[in-house]
Chains A and B, each alone.
Chain A
Amino acid sequence: MERRLAEFVQLLRGARIDVGPAQAVDAARALTLTGMADRERARAVLAATLVKTADERPAFDACFDRFFRVAGQVDAEAGGTETTDETDEPVDAAPGAAGVTPGSGGGLARELETGDTAALEARLATAMAEARVDEARHWTQTGVYTQRVRQALDLAAVDDLIRARREAGEPAEQLARARAGFDARLRERVEQRVRMQAEAQAWSFRDRVLRQTPLSALDRRDQARMRELVRRLARRLAARHGRRRRRRKRGRLDAGATMRASLRWGGVPFRPVWKGRRRDRARVVVLCDVSQSVRAQATVLLPFVHALQDVLPEVRSFVFASDPAEVTTLFRHDPPERAMAEALARYGNGSTDYGGTLTQFDLLTRDLIQRQTTVVILGDGRNNYGDPALAALSRIADRCRELIWLNPEAEGSWGTGDSEMPAYARRCHQVLRCRTLRDLEWAVMQLLRRAG
C-alpha cells in the first residue's frame, strides 16, 4: 500500500499538485486508520491529506480516477488484509524472492493455474516497481519496460515449464492460456502507466514552454491553459505585494503625539503613537490596443490587471482601436473571458488610430489621471502613417506619476514601417517589451512596485 501511495504522490506531483513528504506520511497514517476498501472514503482521505486548495481538487480527482481505476478493486482487497499488520511485507517478500530463485516459475505457474488473481496482481505490482516503470518518461519506452517487467516476473521460467510439459506429453494448455491472458494484462498495465506518466510530464513541460512562447502564437487550446497560468501568477503577485504593503502600515513614530499622550502618565512615554502612512490614492489606468495586431497580448494583460485588484487600489481600463472606450465595469462584473469577448466585439473593429486615440484619451482622463496615477499603455505603436499626436502623449506623461508602455513587438522592429514607437518611447517613463508571459510578469511586477 505504501508503495502504491508513493506512486500516486508521484503522479500528483506530475500533475502539478505539490505534495510534501510530511503530507505523504500523513496520508499513509490516515490510510492505515481507514483502509482502502471503500473507494470514495479513500478518495476523501487522500484529498484531505494531500490536496491543499480547492483549485487542485479537480486535478486530484482526475489523477485519483485514473490511478485507482487501474488496480482499484484488487488493490482494495490487498489493502484490506493489510491493515492488521501495517506494511505489505509478506506480499513484497514472496515475489521479490521469486524473481531470483530458479524455482520461482513454479510459484507463478501455480498461481496462473489456480487463477489466484490477488496474488498475481501483487506479483505484477512488485515486478513493475522492480522494473522501475515509474521512471518511464515517454510513451515510446513502453516496449522496453514491458520487457523488463517480464524479466522481473521471470515469465521465461513459465514458458520453460510449458515447453517441458508439452514435450513430456502432459496437459499444458490451461497454463498457456492463463499465461497469455496474464501477459496481455501486463502489457496493458505497463502501457497505461507509461502513458499516464508521459502525460503528467508533458503537462509541466508545457507550462514551462508556454511562459516563453510569444503570446500571439498561442493556439486556442493553449489559451485556456494560459488563463490558468495568469490566474496563478496574479494570485502569487497579489499575495507577495499585499504582504509588503501591510508590513509598512505602522508608519513612523509621531514624536509630538507621543509626548502629548504621555502627559497622562506623568511624562512617561507609556504608549508610543505612530504616524499612519499617508493614504496614497494610487491608481492604475490601462489603455489597451485591441486591434488585430495586439489582440493576443491584450487578452492576457487585461484580465491579469483586473485579477490584481486586491492589491492595486483602483484599476481603470480603456480599450481602443480607433477610439478609446472604458471597459472597467465590464471587467468588474463579468468573468474575464466574457468581458474580453464583449470588449473585442464592441470596440475591436476599425483601423488603429493612435493619434486620435491619444488626443481623446488625454481629454477623457483630464481628471482621472493625476500625480498618483500610473498609466500603462499596451500597443505596438503602429499608427498607419497617421498623425502620432505626440503632444497628447507628452501631456499625459506630465500629468501622471509614471507612464509605462508595453510593446508586444521585439525591440528590433520598433520604428520600422508605420511604427511610431521610438517617438512614443522618448515620451514615456519606461518602455517594456511584453512578448511572452514572462515579459508580462516582469512588467506587472514593475507596476506593482510603483503603484502598490
Chain B
Amino acid sequence: MTDAAERIRALNDDLAGAGYICGEDIATVVYLAQALGKPVLVEGPPGVGKTELARAVGTASGREAIRLQCYEGLDESRALYEWKYGKQLLYTQLLRDRLAALLADAPDLDAAVARLDDLGGGFFSEPFLEARPLLQALRSEQGAVLLIDEVDKADPEFEAFLLEFLADYQVTIPELGTIPARHAPLVFLTSNGSRELSEALKRRCLHLHIPYPDRGLEARILSQHVPELSASLRDEIVAFVHGLRDLDLRKRPAISETLDWARTLVLLQADQLGPATVERTLNVLLKFQDDVDTALPQIRAIQNGRRG
C-alpha cells in the first residue's frame, strides 16, 4: 500500500520532470491506468492540459506518444491502416514484364493463378501497409502512449469500433490476419463533452476530470513554464485570472491562456499589472469580444478584490 503511495508520488515527480505539474489525484489515475491496464477518459474544459497529460506521460515513461485526432467522418482507414494504393499501382505497372515472364510458361489459367499465390502476400504485404495511429500504437516496440483526442467529435460508429479495439488491443487485417499488441498501449481519450459518449465506452474507461487548477497549482505551473516571470507578477496574474473565472463568461480562460498571457507580459516587460496593461492584453486571455466587453469594466474590481 505504501508501495503504491510511493509509486504515485514518484510518478507525480516524473510528470513534473516532463513539464506537467498536477495534483496527486491525476497521478493516482495515471498510476491506476498503468496498473489495471485500462484506458483513461479525460474530460474537462478546453485548455486545462488534457492533451498535454498524455504527452507528459509519454515523456515521463520514455514511451512513444502517438496521437489520433478525431473528427466527424473519421474512419478505420484513417485511424487504423490503409493499403498504399499508389505504390501498389505503380509496382504492378513496373513489374508488368516480370510478371508476364513469370506466367508465360504456365500451361493454363489455374497454374498461373497458383503461381501468383505462391508469391506470398505480394502486393498485400507489410511493405504496402500504411500504419495509422492505432496500428502504430500496437506495433510500437516498447509500448506506446496512445492519445485519442476529442473522441466526442468522432461518429458513434467509430466509437463502437474503438470499444472493440480497447477490449482486446488487437486488430484484424483481412489480408494479413490478426495483429496483437506487442505491449498493451496506455490509452488516453479526451472529450470536450460536445456529445454524450456511449455508456459502454465510459464504463470501460477510468474517468478523470481535470478542473481549472487552484491558485497554488496554477502558480507552480506558471513558474515551470515561464521561469522569467517574477514571483510577485506571477501571483498577480494568478489572482487576476481566478477573478476572471468567477465572472460569467462564454469561454473562461484556462491554463493555456494564462500561460500565453504570462508570456505576453514578459515580452512586454511589464513588472506589475496596471489596469492599462491588463486592458491592452486582455484579448490574449479572452477569446470572445463579448467576454472582453463583460470583463473590461470589472478589471478594477477584480484587482481590488485581490487586495482586499
Q: For B4, what are the chain A residues with a Cβ–Cβ distance below 8 Å? A: 33-35
B5 at the interface (CB under 8 A from A): yes
A residues 35-53 touching B (CB-CB < 8 Å): 35, 37-38, 40-41, 44-45, 47-49, 51-53
Interface string of B29-64 (1 = CB under 8 A from A): 101100110101001100000000000000000000
B250 closest partner in A (C-beta): A333
A23 closest partner in B (C-beta): B203
B residues 201-228 touching A (CB-CB < 8 Å): 202-203, 206-209
Partner of B206, one of A49, A57, A238, A310: A49
Complexed CA–CA distance, A236 and B198 (Å): 11
Complexed CA–CA distance, A238 and B32 (Å): 33
Interface size classification for chain A = 35 or more
Q: B195 near A41 (CB under 8 angstroms)?
A: no
A251 at the interface (CB under 8 A from B): no
Known: A26-B36, A239-B195, A333-B290. A54 touches B203 (CB 8 A): no
Q: A52 near B24 (CB under 8 angstroms)?
A: no
B82 at the interface (CB under 8 A from A): no
Known: A44-B29, A52-B202. A37 touches B1 (CB 8 A): yes
Complexed CA–CA distance, A41 and B28 (Å): 7
B156 at the interface (CB under 8 A from A): yes
Interface string of B1-36 (1 = CB under 8 A from A): 100110010000000000000001100110110011
Beyond A48-B208, A238-B195, 9 additional pairs, beta carbon < 8 A: A34-B31, A40-B24, A40-B25, A44-B24, A53-B207, A80-B1, A239-B195, A243-B156, A310-B195
Q: For B25, what are the chain A residues with a Cβ–Cβ distance below 8 Å? A: 40-41, 44, 47
Q: For B257, what are the chain A residues with a Cβ–Cβ distance below 8 Å? A: none
A residues 1-50 touching B (CB-CB < 8 Å): 18, 20, 22-23, 26, 29-30, 33-35, 37-38, 40-41, 44-45, 47-49
Partner of A34, one of B1, B202, B207, B250: B1
Partner of A48, one of B28, B194, B203: B28
Q: A235 near B24 (CB under 8 angstroms)?
A: no
B236 at the interface (CB under 8 A from A): no
B235 at the interface (CB under 8 A from A): no
Q: A54 near B209 (CB under 8 angstroms)?
A: yes
Question: Which residue, of B1, B4, B193, has the highest number of chain A Cβ atoms within 10 A?
Answer: B1
Q: B43 near A53 (CB under 8 angstroms)?
A: yes
List 16 A–B pairs whose Cβ atoms lie within 8 Å, in order of A's numbering. Answer: A22-B203, A26-B38, A29-B36, A34-B1, A35-B1, A35-B4, A40-B24, A41-B8, A44-B24, A44-B28, A44-B29, A48-B29, A51-B207, A57-B209, A235-B196, A333-B290
Known: A20-B203, A41-B5, A246-B155. A34 touches B43 (CB 8 A): no
A residues 51-75 touching B (CB-CB < 8 Å): 51-54, 57
A192 at the interface (CB under 8 A from B): no
Q: For B35, what are the chain A residues with a Cβ–Cβ distance below 8 Å? A: 30, 33
Complexed CA–CA distance, A194 and B12 (Å): 40
A30 to chain B, nearest CB (A): 5
Q: For B250, what are the chain A residues with a Cβ–Cβ distance below 8 Å? A: 333
A214 at the interface (CB under 8 A from B): no
Q: For B32, what are the chain A residues with a Cβ–Cβ distance below 8 Å? A: 30, 33-34, 45, 48-49
A96 at the interface (CB under 8 A from B): no
A42 closest partner in B (C-beta): B28
Interface residues of A (CB under 8 A from B): 18, 20, 22-23, 26, 29-30, 33-35, 37-38, 40-41, 44-45, 47-49, 51-54, 57, 80, 83, 235-236, 238-239, 242-243, 246, 310, 333, 335
B38 closest partner in A (C-beta): A26
Complexed CA–CA distance, A34 and B207 (Å): 17
Q: B203 near A34 (CB under 8 angstroms)?
A: no
Complexed CA–CA distance, A8 and B116 (Å): 64
B206 closest partner in A (C-beta): A48
Q: B196 near A34 (CB under 8 angstroms)?
A: no
Q: For A41, what are the chain B residues with a Cβ–Cβ distance below 8 Å? A: 5, 8, 24-25, 28
Q: For A333, what are the chain B residues with a Cβ–Cβ distance below 8 Å? A: 250, 290
7 nearest A-B pairs in the assembled complex, by CB-CB distance:
A35-B1, A44-B25, A52-B202, A239-B196, A48-B206, A34-B4, A54-B209
Q: For A45, what are the chain B residues with a Cβ–Cβ distance below 8 Å? A: 28, 32
Interface string of B249-268 (1 = CB under 8 A from A): 01000000000000000000
Complexed CA–CA distance, A193 and B25 (Å): 28
Question: Which residue, of B24, B38, B209, has the highest number of chain A Cβ atoms within 10 A?
Answer: B209
Q: For A48, what are the chain B residues with a Cβ–Cβ distance below 8 Å? A: 28-29, 32, 40, 206-208
Interface string of B83-126 (1 = CB under 8 A from A): 00000000000000000000000000000000000000000000
A235 to chain B, nearest CB (A): 5
A43 to chain B, nearest CB (A): 8
Q: For B248, what are the chain A residues with a Cβ–Cβ distance below 8 Å? A: 335
A50 closest partner in B (C-beta): B207
Complexed CA–CA distance, A246 and B195 (Å): 13
Complexed CA–CA distance, A333 and B31 (Å): 40
Complexed CA–CA distance, A57 and B31 (Å): 20
Complexed CA–CA distance, A54 and B44 (Å): 8
B273 to chain A, nearest CB (A): 28
Q: A53 near B202 (CB under 8 angstroms)?
A: yes
Complexed CA–CA distance, A48 and B209 (Å): 9
B45 closest partner in A (C-beta): A54
Complexed CA–CA distance, A41 and B8 (Å): 10
Q: For A310, what are the chain B residues with a Cβ–Cβ distance below 8 Å? A: 194-195
Q: For A57, what are the chain B residues with a Cβ–Cβ distance below 8 Å? A: 209
A452 to chain B, nearest CB (A): 15
Complexed CA–CA distance, A52 and B191 (Å): 12
Q: For B290, what are the chain A residues with a Cβ–Cβ distance below 8 Å? A: 333
Complexed CA–CA distance, A26 and B72 (Å): 32
Q: B5 near A52 (CB under 8 angstroms)?
A: no
Q: For A83, what are the chain B residues with a Cβ–Cβ distance below 8 Å? A: 1
Complexed CA–CA distance, A238 and B195 (Å): 8
Complexed CA–CA distance, A57 and B209 (Å): 9
A30 closest partner in B (C-beta): B32
Q: For A34, what are the chain B residues with a Cβ–Cβ distance below 8 Å? A: 1, 4-5, 8, 28, 31-32
Complexed CA–CA distance, A29 and B38 (Å): 12
Q: For A38, what are the chain B residues with a Cβ–Cβ distance below 8 Å? A: 5
B296 to chain A, nearest CB (A): 17
A26 to chain B, nearest CB (A): 6
A276 to chain B, nearest CB (A): 13
A329 to chain B, nearest CB (A): 11
A106 to chain B, nearest CB (A): 33
